[in-house]
Chain A
């Protein structure tokens, strides 16, 4: 087992670039972790400890080298009401339970169900995430003095313009420049704006192991269970989607089930050191790849640098104006958004666009990415069923003396095309015998079987002899299992509604 689990190349194949990229990511992780703690309604230290712990643990146990996991906005949004109603300790317990569910999901190999999530839903998910991250910044931008707006805009200006500075631009992360510049400016000028220190406690020590202080009873479980399920699903969805993005960018593959288990282990570890639940981060992972990070070392170092900076620089972190964080978060939001998907709206089919937009709208409305994804998948499945149901038609023919009519069905018969199947029969026509030829038809479910039964029974009532022939393998297994048209006692039941 050890040999497949610890691959030297996955760690040390890219040391120099990983070390640099880890630093860039760590710098961008700090504002994110603080911002997401604020969204969740907990002290910044909860998010910072979580980001450290998750990044470090996932670097060992994750299934996607080079992907960055930490405290995330998607997860923070799910836990808001839990924190508000029951407090931090329940969040920690929910985080641990989330991890357990994710490990179970890994062992059940649920990663393969990602194949049910169509591309349009993935894009919708990413866009919804970007919108949610942006919306989460709005409280910092409402009911504030004009200073904040100016600072935020200047911050964004530095982030996007500093990289154009020759030499330095591609050596120093521009979000860092923004944070330093705005902090120094606000501090020196003595401008009275909200700072990170106003938002709650920052870490001043290394994290320590602690058990959540909650009563271990059924009531606690009923409180945290729904949150844990949501967190587990959201975490895995975002992680697996991010890993496909990294797969695409780097032209490598990842181990989805190992990633599921890894996310679980990381969350459990986070819960036990006072951190909130997290998952993979699209924006940070893209930054990591852009900075040259590829291997597990980059993720590990991002976590380690983050902790060192946070613990030793907590006094400085306290005076960072929130406006600087907001600019960084707006950058993350813009960078996460799939810009190409807006351009493609005109060229893609309406159904695809509707799936994408539904995912976005439901997610933004419920603040729960899992619900958005489920709506998107459901809608996409319905559209698919609708498309497939067009692939069914029939041809009719008579024998020489017009006493026997043959219906030949071609295509897919299932819940959505079953009605069409039934309506194909001309029940008013008087013939001695009807042959239903299913040689080239596929029966998929009991709806199809039911409509065949209904047609056969109706034809027999009208005094027509019926012969069903040419059931192919797939159809016959379904008919054998569900068929009732040859059982007289069932006839009345089927025809009861007529």
Chain B
């Protein structure tokens, strides 16, 4: 049985992340796993610029670094345990009993990659604890690129998902997202709005009509809307106007090289959206 993974790090969003996890776990009737990742910095705070090496320098350096990292890891583990315990109690207080906790070493993307085959979905807070004022969690782009399961990025307090906004551009990734929307039980009984942003309304409408009939075949009613102008801004405006609960989209459909030069639609959405994002790779 696949699991719902909830990544907690003790940041402000941990509760919201948990709430989404609980909601999805209940809806799908799947077990919940709370994950805390011990991410090693592999850097040192002690800097010795004396630049000399003598007998036993390597051994001494090794001992020093091991001690330093050991202390760092122990602290992180202890802190993680507290967070996990608190969150677990919270989950259990919400009447979800099938909940386990997990602590692993490594980066979040490595860990998700290792675990992904047993996971239905991963739920992650968009403001990682380390990131401070930067709005995007430190490794979120790496993470989304590395992992091939659906990810729910939580960036605000929990609100039950009653409606979703889907951006559709006809690409394979977008088609995958549409397929998920049709089949994934998370989205059962959720009102779906599908939009396409394109200056050429005929193309836009044609795409949307295709999508509409796809859903109609599956017996699902959807709202569609053609938007013009800057797609990120328009999407977010549409979401606000209709007060939609989450935005679902295919993520990082272009290769990294292109993203570096043109900027990425996904990154823009990550930065600007005020509602949680469902990402499909």
Contacts and interface: CB of A to CB of B under 8 A. Distances in A.
A24 interface: yes
A162 B51 CA distance: 11
B69 interface: yes
A3 B256 contact: yes
Interface string B59-92: 1011001000100000000000000000000000
A186 interface: no
B51 A286 contact: no
Given A173-B50, A290-B61, A339-B56, 16 more contacts: A3-B145, A17-B44, A24-B49, A160-B52, A163-B50, A170-B47, A251-B40, A251-B65, A252-B42, A287-B51, A289-B61, A291-B48, A291-B51, A292-B44, A292-B46, A340-B59
A173 B51 CA distance: 5
B171 interface: no
A20 B49 contact: yes
Interface in B11-57: 40, 42-44, 46-57
Contacts of A8: 142
Contacts of A283: 53
A339 B59 contact: yes
16 contacts: A3-B145, A13-B42, A21-B47, A24-B49, A27-B51, A172-B49, A173-B52, A174-B51, A251-B40, A252-B42, A286-B53, A287-B51, A290-B53, A291-B48, A294-B44, A340-B59
A182 to B, nearest CB: 15
**For this complex, into which size category does the number of interface residues on chain A fall?**
35 or more
B262 interface: no
Main secondary structure of the interface of B (DSSP, over half): loop
Given A2-B255, A2-B257, A3-B145, A249 B50 contact: no
**For this complex, into which size category does the number of interface residues on chain B fall?**
20 to 34
Contacts of B50: 162-163, 169-170, 172-174
A334 interface: yes
A339 B47 contact: no
Contacts of A403: none
Main secondary structure of the interface of A (DSSP, over half): helix
A476 interface: no
B134 interface: no
Contact of B57 (A6, A7, A286): A286
Contacts of B57: 286, 290, 335
Contacts of B47: 17, 20-21, 170, 291-292
A2 B44 contact: no
A153 B43 CA distance: 35
Contact of B43 (A28, A169, A176, A294): A294
Contacts of A291: 47-49, 51
Contact of A332 (B53, B61, B65): B53
Given A335-B53, A337-B55, A290 B69 contact: no
A54 interface: no
A400 B127 CA distance: 82
Interface in A166-202: 169-176
Nearest to A250: B42
A20 B58 CA distance: 20
A337 B50 CA distance: 19
Contact of B51 (A17, A175, A245): A175
B59 A173 contact: no
Given A251-B69, A286-B58, A170 B53 contact: no
B42 A170 contact: no
